[in-house]
Homo-oligomer: A and B are copies of this chain.
Amino acid sequence: MPNAIDLLKERLYTVLDLNSAAGVLSWDQHTYMPKGGLEARVRQMTTLESMSHEVFSASATGELLARAEEAVAKLDPESDEARMVRVIRREYNQAVKLPAALVEEKSRITGKAMDAWMACKPANDFAGFRPHLEAIFSICRREAEALGYAEQPYDALLGRYEPGMLTSKLKAVFDEVKQDLVPLCKSIFERNSQVDDACLYGDFDPQAQWDLGISVLEAMGYNFDNGRQDQSPHPFTTEFGVGDVRVTTRIHRDDFKAGLFGTMHEGGHALYEQNVSQLYDRTYLAGGTSLGIHESQSRLWENLVGRSPQFCQWLFPRVRKLFPAQFGQMDDTAFYRAINRVKPSLIRIEADEVTYSLHVFLRFELELELLSGELKVADLPEAWNAKMQSYLGIKPASDKEGCLQDMHWSDATVGYFPTYALGNLYGVQIWNTAHKRLPQLKQQLAQGDLTPLREWLSDQVYTHGRKYDAPELVQRITGEPLKAKYFVEYLREKYTPVYGL
């Protein structure tokens, strides 16, 4: 007779298979779907998602879950089964706590907000978007109340992306980073002329860029038998099982960085998913444990590996061979400096490794105040611009370069932004430990031998899937909780020679 845990797992196969199927439909939508397919695709996705939600949040799931919890109470709490049941409980509670009426209302609000944003951004019309943003934060407040929280409403929203993390902890860490990062940026900006990256803009053959990306993915150990790379306007990574983890990239003919570093970024996400234990396939332990840890891996491979002086020694000769007209007269040091140019920018997604986190802090702080009501939506543009001036020393000329710049708020993904900066922090803290455990790491990077690093990360991070929440995982790997200091130390050490600080 099957035990309670197996019965629960079996019931959830349907949910996981429906989610994977929706993933395939989404991948197709963003890569190959002809434009006429959109209307039917939206219907198909809606049907799959609502069936998945229906099966998952049904009382039958709750009953099996309760029985499975009784069963795992007799097991080692560190066992895969016990951990898996804990993850399912967390997701189940989230799924059943939200009343259907609230979910539907949110969907209506975000639908309208998205339409409004599409019209208001090009028209630079914040007044037109304002009522939608008010509705967004209002429904997010109700959502937080329905979900429940430990200390403050934002915890509920943050916890969906970063289980186990508290707003208060995050704020303390971010504030500490900010205290050092703002002056660091300022002194770099003052030495703006020290670094020239003109070589990265010009005309770069797309096929050669593609080939370079493939060879870098191969060097990273991305498994092409269990995945593939395609092109899409917004690069992403997706998985439909441990054996099928796909990445996309975009190639800009006139901007060399976009393709290469976008590929390494998604490659980092993909290495995580590809190296989750096979035992977790088709269970709730498959996948990354949090968006912060996921982003730590994408940014580790993109920045800590990809933009390191050591890896440049391996990378640059390959770049020069593929693009002799552009790089034939350069050496790897000049290339390294160019790809590490720091400059203040208005748009987060275009930001470099140093300024990136400041964009996120800004957004996080504004989200917190908007959610609590401390900041009125009407006052957002002014507050946004003031923070941009204070953190980065620049001010948007218009709201479309400011608080209207991206669609994320229209989608009500409040609580999601901080995971981007968390990724930087987690990434460097894990990176430092990697150097201790792999004393030859710098030489290996210089030789393009990324296998020891990938294997160490697999063993420490990837194989565990969702078994450990981010705070626990980081403690296990680095022997410490998340600490602010490592990130700024890393930046200071790296950028002091680049900018002659």
Q: How far is the CB of A365 from chain B (nearest CB, A)?
A: 41
Instruction: Pick from B20, B27, B225: contact of A36, CB below 8 A.
Output: B225
Q: Are A40 and B20 in contact (CB under 8 A)?
A: yes
- What is the CA–CA distance of A43 and B46 in the complex, to the nearest angstrom? 21
- What is the CA–CA distance of A319 and B36 in the complex, to the nearest angstrom? 31
Q: Are A243 and B40 in contact (CB under 8 A)?
A: yes
Residues in chain B near residue A244, CB distance under 8 A: 33-34, 36-37, 40-41
* Chain A positions 9 through 53: 1 when the CB is less than 8 Å from some CB of chain B, otherwise 0: 000011001101110110110001111111111011011100100
- What is the CA–CA distance of A75 and B268 in the complex, to the nearest angstrom? 61
Residues in chain B near residue A228, CB distance under 8 A: 32, 34
Chain B CB within 8 A of A224 CB: yes
Chain B CB within 8 A of A132 CB: no
Chain B CB within 8 A of A86 CB: no
Contacts A17-B46, A21-B21, A43-B241 known; list 14 others, CB within 8 Å. Answer: A13-B43, A13-B47, A14-B47, A18-B47, A18-B48, A18-B51, A24-B25, A28-B28, A34-B227, A34-B228, A34-B246, A37-B226, A37-B241, A37-B243
Chain B CB within 8 A of A281 CB: yes
Residues in chain B near residue A241, CB distance under 8 A: 37, 39-41, 43
Chain B CB within 8 A of A240 CB: yes
- What is the CA–CA distance of A22 and B242 in the complex, to the nearest angstrom? 20
Residues in chain B near residue A223, CB distance under 8 A: 36
Residue in B closest to A274 when the chains form the complex, CB atoms: B36
Q: How far is the CB of A486 from chain B (nearest CB, A)?
A: 36
Chain B CB within 8 A of A359 CB: no
Q: How far is the CB of A16 from chain B (nearest CB, A)?
A: 9
Q: Are A226 and B34 in contact (CB under 8 A)?
A: yes
> Given A41-B244, A240-B41, does the pair A227, B17 have CB atoms closer than 8 Å?
no
Q: Are A40 and B282 in contact (CB under 8 A)?
A: yes
Residue in B closest to A40 when the chains form the complex, CB atoms: B241
Q: Are A36 and B226 in contact (CB under 8 A)?
A: yes
- What is the CA–CA distance of A282 and B242 in the complex, to the nearest angstrom? 33
Indicate the member of A14, A41, A46 with the most B CB atoms within 10 Å.
Answer: A41
Instruction: Pick from B17, B33, B34: contact of A43, CB below 8 A.
Output: B17
Q: How far is the CB of A336 from chain B (nearest CB, A)?
A: 34
Q: Are A17 and B47 in contact (CB under 8 A)?
A: yes
Q: Are B17 and A240 in contact (CB under 8 A)?
A: no
- What is the CA–CA distance of A14 and B44 in the complex, to the nearest angstrom? 8
Residues in chain B near residue A225, CB distance under 8 A: 34-36
Q: How far is the CB of A160 from chain B (nearest CB, A)?
A: 25
Give the top 6 A-B pairs by smallest Cβ distance, nearest first: A40-B241, A37-B244, A36-B226, A36-B243, A17-B47, A17-B44
Residues in chain B near residue A281, CB distance under 8 A: 40
Within A225-258, which residues are at the interface with B (CB < 8 Å)? 225-228, 230, 240-244, 246
Residues in chain B near residue A27, CB distance under 8 A: 28
Q: How far is the CB of A272 from chain B (nearest CB, A)?
A: 16
Q: How far is the CB of A227 from chain B (nearest CB, A)?
A: 6
Residue in B closest to A31 when the chains form the complex, CB atoms: B32
